[in-house]
Structure 1
Amino acid sequence: MILEPQRESFGGLEDGIAYLNCAYMSPQLKVSVAAGERALSCRSRPWRITARDFFEEPEESRRLFARLVGGDPDGVALVPSASYGIAVAARNLVTGAGRRMLVLEEEFPSNYYAWAELAAKTGAKLETVPRPGDDDWTRVVLERLDESVDVVAAPNCHWTDGSFVDLERIGEEARRAGAALVVDATQSLGAHPLDMRRVRPDFLVAAAYKWLLGPYGVAFLWAAEGRREGTPIEYNWINRAGSEDFSGLAGYAAGFQPGARRYDAGERSNFILLPMANAALRQLLEWGVENVSETLGTLTDIVEEGAPELGLRPVPRARRVRHMIGLRLPSGQAAEIAGRLAERGVFVSSRGACLRVSPHLYNTREDVLRLLDELSWILRPGPTRR
């Protein structure tokens, strides 16, 4: 279902601004801002915060995130960043000399450095899957995935241009080969449908501040059922068994809270950020991720249709997610052009050799046509504009 524009649901959007850059950072929803203001007011009166408050909002976060991905709340850990979640995964996966781990070429650093460190420690080979000329990442990953691979670290789409990675197919082949699948879904979750029951990753992480429309400093880690008895990367009080009883904390517990809660970061009960994140998750569930994806696709399709006339090569619809599109420039001047667009009040990102266009429900057809018009003026200079 195509959704109506939702600009009024977002705060801070100024007149005259065409913000086509959700893959960088989303504007905050008004419901999230209101939740944060209420939470900040409550935090100013700490005598009103009880032991129960350390647990109720985090458990609501688990329930909402689990609904979004088709998983179970016991599989959800609350972490501060994608890199934290990837570090948890790397801590709990086994590899060694003569073994291989796969990452995409130009993968985002948060899904690279942990694997590079693991390779250096174990003697495994971290293999970079080269960018395919036809944008078919699924094919080139599958060509390199065999029984010598221990870890496949992959997103649902490449962060630079939105080119699609079929995690269901890769997950199936990874299981056949005995490899673990670790997914950084930061650039897709909330705008591209994902069913954990079909992808079946070992670990999945997503930061909240992009397509989940949440605040900066919140992320979610999901661990498969067989990965929930592992080793956390920090030892804090709240993920231990019985931590609800504040009077007994000095008794020290050997066991952990059930499920993936053992991977929770310290101070996970963020009294301001979690209510904001939860408000955004509720709104996404109300809109429906499939509806969000379909609606954003109507905008990226316009970009794809208009780009060739400007000498730009878009990632084609058959090879990309619906919510994001990369435009390759023959001249390789993406950063300069993105800067010139920003001067005109049109915001996209330059990532690698691409202009990355990533709209959301606050955008309209007019925003996209304005982008194409401004690009035409930049790439085909004519009379000076005011």
Structure 2
Amino acid sequence: MSPLLKEVERVGTQSIKKKRNPALIPASSFFDEVELVREEYAKLINVKDPKRIALTPSASYGLANVANNLKADHSHNIVVVGEQFPSNVYPWMKIQKEKNVRLKTVAAPAVFKDRGKIWNERILEAIDSNTCMVAMGNVHWADGTKFNLVEIRKRTREVGALLVIDGSQSVGALPFDINVIQPDALVCCAYKWLLGPYSTGLAYYGSYFDHGSPIEENWINRKFSEDFAGLVNYQEEYQPGALRYDAGERSNFILVPMLLAALRQLNQWKPEKIQEYCSQITSKAVDLLREAGYLIEDEKFRGGHMFGIRVPKNADVEKIKQQLQKNKISISLRGDAIRISTHLYNSENDVMKLVKALKL
């Protein structure tokens, strides 16, 4: 979870105060800032048509819309990555149960040498003529292992499978170009690397989903919902394209302005610059930690903003945790990996304090 930018906090406070007097919230507010959010996010991930983007309350909501429209039967399989975040596994487990689809899990290699390279190769090998979808992250949520989505997309196209990406742990800090990767869907929660408030998310949906069924029937995802006077002229048709997947109450007059402020700032900073900075301030630390016996993925196969440090076999994990707490260093333990996440608010000095604490 990212800290709130001061500007995002200011906008949120200002938006809360507006609710004191609902008369200050015009009908246009149900639509205007939502469209600005789409436009800013479209810039961030290089989408030509902002109407390919839906506003959601979470990544799991975005994935539920994918699951609701996936054409699959007992002859198909879905490929996922080992120890993937639950939100990107549970929908496919449900499909497995309901449609007798095979769920193929590509586990991480047991050996650490060339781990990222081998893992990527095994994912490509797992995709076959019966694969209907590959669902995964851009980087692994537990240790930042980076996956070659361009090659995976190429392979899915060869077999006619969908590529569905959970970008929650990368989009905003790691460049993601829809035109280059060409996923069928990209879902993100906004409270992490998009620097937005909790209970906000964004989902890109490609043409496969243009005529699909959303998981909820709300008034605002129906055609002509902009006409308040005509809302009781009930419509059979949904809004076009991805707009049909907008969540109910998507116009949240507190959270949407906050998300908009965060996206505007990210577009000014640019993800490639954030990634470059994070790689720069952690470069020396990675070398020193490797010398101390810690295992860290090769640069080509890990995110610069987030990566895992695996402790030496003889290390006392509890002692390491105590040392980090003593030095007021906040990290995440994910399995056997210490997950390190950095951003523009960190410095090389911050990272070197971590190194000092880990070199027991």
Q: What TM-score comes out, normalization by structure 2 length?
A: 0.95
More moved, 246-255 vs 76-85: 246-255
Aligned to 2:22: 46
Whether contact under 8 Å (2:2, 2:195) holds in the other structure is yes
Identity level (%): 42
User: Residue in 2 aligned with 1:342?
Assistant: 325
Using the TM superposition, give the Cα deviation of residue 126 of structure 1 relative to its aligned residue in structure 2, in angstroms. 0.6
Alignment of 1:315-334 (within 5 A): 315-331=297-313
Aligned with 1:117 (options 71, 91, 94): 94
Q: Deviations over 1:61-99 (max 9, x none)?
A: 111111111112010000000111111111111111131
The answer to whether the aligner puts 1:279 opposite 2:261 as a matched pair is yes
Offset of residue 334 of structure 1: 5.1
Do the aligned partners of 1:296 and 1:322 also contact (CA within 8 Å) in 2? yes
Change (3 A) 1:314 1:229: same
For residue 344 of structure 2, the aligned residue among 357, 361, 374 is: 361
CA deviations over 1:89-126 (Å, ceiling 9, x no partner): 11111111131101100000010000100111000111
Q: Offset at 1:324? A: 1.2
The 5-angstrom pairing of residues 151-170 of structure 1 reads 151-170=133-152
Is this contact kept in 2: 1:241–1:256, CA < 8 A? Answer: yes
Task: Verify the 8 A CA contact 1:302 1:368 in the aligned structure 2.
Answer: no
Extract unaligned runs of 5+ from structure 1. 1-24, 381-386
TM-score w.r.t. length of structure 1: 0.89
Alignment of 1:61 with 2:44, yes or no, is no
1:16-165 mapped onto 2 (5 Å cutoff): 25-71=1-47, 72-132=49-109, 133=111, 134-136=115-117, 137-165=119-147
1:211 aligned residue (180, 193, 204): 193
Q: Which amino acid aligns with 1:189?
A: V
Q: Match of 2:116, SS? A: coil
The answer to whether the Cα contact below 8 Å between 2:82 and 2:108 also exists between their aligned partners in 1 is: yes
- 1:22 maps to none
Q: Is the 8 A contact 1:334 1:351 kept in 2?
A: no
Distance 1:267 1:222 in 2: 18
1:301 aligned to 2:283?
A: yes
Residues in 1 aligned to 2:285 and 2:337: alpha-carbon distance in whole angstroms: 13
- Within a 5 Å distance, the mapping from 1:9-20 to structure 2 comes to none
1:270 corresponds to 2:255: no
**Contact 1:334-1:350 at 8 Å conserved across structures:** no
Deviations 1:221-242 (A, max 9, x none): 1001232211100000011111
Q: Is the deviation greater in 307-316 or in 65-74?
A: 307-316
Q: Superposition RMSD on alpha carbons, in Å? A: 1.4
The whole-number CA distance in structure 2 between the counterparts of 1:31 and 1:218 is 17
Aligned partner of 2:347: which letter? T
Q: Please give the alpha-carbon distance, in whole angstroms, between the structure 1 residues aligned to 2:321 and 2:137.
A: 25
Give, as a single letter, the amino acid of the residue that structure 2 aligns with 1:299: I
SS of corresponding position for 1:44: coil
Long gaps (5+) in structure 2:
none
Please report how far the alpha carbon of residue 333 of structure 1 lies from its aligned counterpart in structure 2 after TM superposition.
5.9
**Residues 305 and 257 from structure 1, CA distance in 2 versus in 1: closer, same or farther, beyond 3 angstroms?**
same
Matched residue, 1:10: none
Please say which of residues 305-314 and 143-152 is displaced more in the overlay.
Answer: 305-314
Q: Secondary structure at the match of 1:220?
A: strand
**Greater displacement, 130-139 / 364-373:** 130-139
1:326–1:355 CA contact under 8 A, matched in 2: yes
TM-superposed CA distance for 1:243, in Å, is: 1.0
| Aligned position for 1:222 | 204
Alpha-carbon distance between aligned partners in 1 of 2:207 and 2:10, rounded to the nearest angstrom = 35
Task: Give the counterpart of 2:354 among 368, 371, 384.
Answer: 371
Deviation at 1:339, TM superposition (A): 5.2
Work out the number of aligned pairs and report it: 353
Alignment of 1:165-176 (within 5 A): 165-176=147-158
Equivalent residue letter for 2:67? A
